A and B are shown apart, each in its own frame.
Chain A
């Protein structure tokens, strides 16, 4: 597993059961730090999630539109309920977004790969949000959906049981 977290921290912030539940129940994902450059990771993740049937809501102070969606300047401006707040900003900014995520009643606070901030994680967890840290939402979705495997990647999924019927969202 590619993470800087310890095993104990992984159990708390990268629990596969939590990740699977979030991915299977969430409808709306706010992408905080959505880039205007379509080749950046945030654009890849947003485009992927939208294609997989999620409502993606881009957040960036510069505003505008991308992927057919309005870019909101901050989480508080989003007029619909948000399930997952997915953060692509430097770790030092994470606590501010955690407070905003709590304030808008988001169900989960997710810090992308290589973004680690324990203060932000605990702030969100204390308010009852599910927290995922130092993971990529696209990689995790592909891992449990069986498509990341086609890229030859090590999903660490071992099962002798027949797979569930694939159901598009």
Chain B
């Protein structure tokens, strides 16, 4: 075997090749689907070594799987991470990341501009585990800093906030986290590693709902936790202290920069069971192989749609940071090359009445945008968050999350641009006819 060249391969090359060397026996070019629950051990000694985490290898698909491992390494390569653990969904990804870091009594500080399901998980599910969360205006660094206490174990935000499309100012936030020796966790779902790599700006942990643009075709639920390998966990009890479930193993001391991810996999995912199916890992990989091409077109279509809506007389506002007049356009340029993805929201004009009712008429008049609760499909999608994804939130939480009643969220797909503009135009006319 020849030695690998000392070459830094490009994003698209790694999108297609990272994590998968064709296997020695079959040479299969596509990633094989290892649809198996378990793996025969070489011998009793090897089995013992595997269970003690002394050997790398496969034991049981709840903990690891060769197909899933390709997705994990490929995502890690694309995010410039030290590794990844793929899980059943984006919600599972953020849950296992936090469960690994936190102990009862701990606190986290989170952006208030988050997906509604995340707000619910952080507020209500983590309260049951005696973990509290404080939400802050993500645009105010001083608010983040004021919310940090000695029990704060993580800062949490979304690169592109759902659903208003606000952009997280990653660099100063990561510096703040570093000053307080706590990890910054960033949900990079809406940006994907093609448009933004939060670890390049100092984030420690990245989580994904791979269901969205990574899979890209609306056929599989999945998620991932990634870690930079550059954070010193020696003072974080949950990672540094002896583990009662592994004979006193100290994950950070023994595994170094792999410590956090080893603990995520060998303890949290093992115990919560939120594993990804190998077939879903394969489908997500199929999507990942065309990520750059799709994100280019998603972003180009999104910008054109945002401009069309901004100029439309029946539209009150458009919140897409790709537009030059958006207050966070400069941040979108800095972190996302001016292309903040393809999910954004806008408000219908409300001058002559009820914005909520107008929103419903608009959605019912659309022909090409599918009304459903997802984003990041190759097809264009639309939803009214106040009556769906964010309906569990109180009026107060809605307002703090920036979700107005007349707000419509779009996920702009890859259809012919003129057809998308036609559909929006006819639906706007029908709404106000």
A residues adjacent to B (C-beta < 8 A): 2, 11, 16-17, 20, 38-41, 44, 47-48, 51, 113-114, 136, 139, 142, 146-166
Contact = CB atoms under 8 A, between A and B. Distances in A.
Interface in B38-52: 45-46, 49
A38 B73 CA distance: 29
A42 to B, nearest CB: 9
Given A114-B256, A139-B258, A150-B69, A163 B24 contact: yes
A155 to B, nearest CB: 7
Interface in B1-33: 1, 3-4, 6, 9, 13-14, 17-19, 21-25, 27
A contact patch SS: loop
Contacts of A113: 256-257
A97 to B, nearest CB: 20
A150 to B, nearest CB: 5
Nearest 5 A/B pairs, CB to CB: A152-B72, A147-B56, A153-B83, A154-B76, A17-B3
Given A150-B58, A152-B261, A154-B76, A164 B1 contact: yes
Contact of A152 (B13, B24, B54, B86): B86
A2 B229 CA distance: 6
A20 B2 CA distance: 10
Query: Which of A44, A142, A148 gathers most chain B CB within 10 Å?
Result: A44
A163 B21 contact: yes
A152 B255 CA distance: 14
B69 A152 contact: yes
B402 interface: no
Interface stretch (B165-173, B181-189, B244-252, B315-323): B244-252
Contact of A153 (B3, B4, B55, B261): B261
Contact of B73 (A39, A48, A51, A153): A153
A161 B64 contact: no
B6 A11 contact: yes
A44 B24 CA distance: 28
Contacts of B57: 147, 150
A2 B259 CA distance: 13
Contacts of A146: 21
B243 to A, nearest CB: 9
